Amino acid sequence: LITYMPLYYTGANITLINVGTIMLFFGMLGGAGGLFSGFLFDRFKKGSLIIQIGFVLATPILFFTFRTTGLISIILFVTGGFFLISIQPVCIRMTQDLLPGNMSLASSLILGFSPGIAAITMIFLGKAADIIGIVALINYEIILIIFTILMLFSFPLAERSLRDEKNNP
């Protein structure tokens, strides 16, 4: 998503300096979202729920980013960044809980491996965007996000099962 947005907004006649400002606010609000979700996780210990809510709220917001224009599109994109980026600290923490003896490995899976795989897929997604267009590609990606959200509903069951195994060896 972040890869396409400068192209999308420059195609909408927004200057590069303004696109840079938009990306800055996307990242800043996402960072604030990370602090907020970290606080929620520490307080309520409901990581799966926080991740699900983040995805469920980010998906329609980012979908409508491409259905609107101008300032509304920008506000939706930046707001979507809040929810999308906010789940990363919770993902790191939950991975560390799953791999308690390998905290560094757990962190590197989320902070290194995941973005690395995303970068590799960008080669193919970039070519697809050239062929079918950015908006059409985003629509297909939203289908994948919906599939991911559906998969996330199995996490609480797996989490409960792991907790039961740990308590009853």
pLDDT value, residue 149 = 82
pLDDT in tens, 119-165: 899 899 889 989 999 889 988 888 888 888 888 877 777 667 767 77
Distance CA 41, CA 100 (A): 17
**169 within a domain of the structure (yes/no):** no
Query: Does residue 168 fall inside a structural domain?
Result: no
* Residue 51 lies in domain: 5-163
- In a domain, residue 59? The reply is yes
Question: Does residue 33 lie within any of the structural domains?
Answer: yes
Residue 151 inside a domain? The answer is: yes
First and final C-alpha spacing in the chain:
43
* pLDDT at site 3: 81
Q: What is the pLDDT of residue 65?
A: 92
Asked if residue 113 belongs to a domain, the reply is yes
CATH of the domain at 145: 1.20.1250
Q: Identify the CA nearest to 74 among candidates 129, 154, 20, 149.
A: 20
User: How many domains, in total, are found in the chain?
Assistant: 1
Model confidence pLDDT, tens digit, residues 8-25: 899 999 999 999 999 999
Q: What is the mean pLDDT of residues 108-118?
A: 89
pLDDT digit string (tens) for 47-68? 888 988 998 999 899 889 989 9
Classify residue 54: in a domain, yes or no: yes
Q: Which residues lie closer than 8 Å to 88 by C-beta, 6 or more apart?
A: 34, 110
pLDDT tens digit sequence for 80-104: 999 999 999 999 998 888 888 888 9
The answer to the question of residue 79 being in a domain is: yes
Cα 61 from Cα 26, distance rounded (Å)? 13
Q: What is the pTM of this model?
A: 0.82
Contact 66, 73 (CB under 8 A): yes
Residue 166 has pLDDT above 80, yes or no: no
Give residue 169's pLDDT.
65
CB proximity list for 139: less than 8 A, separation 6 or greater: 63, 66
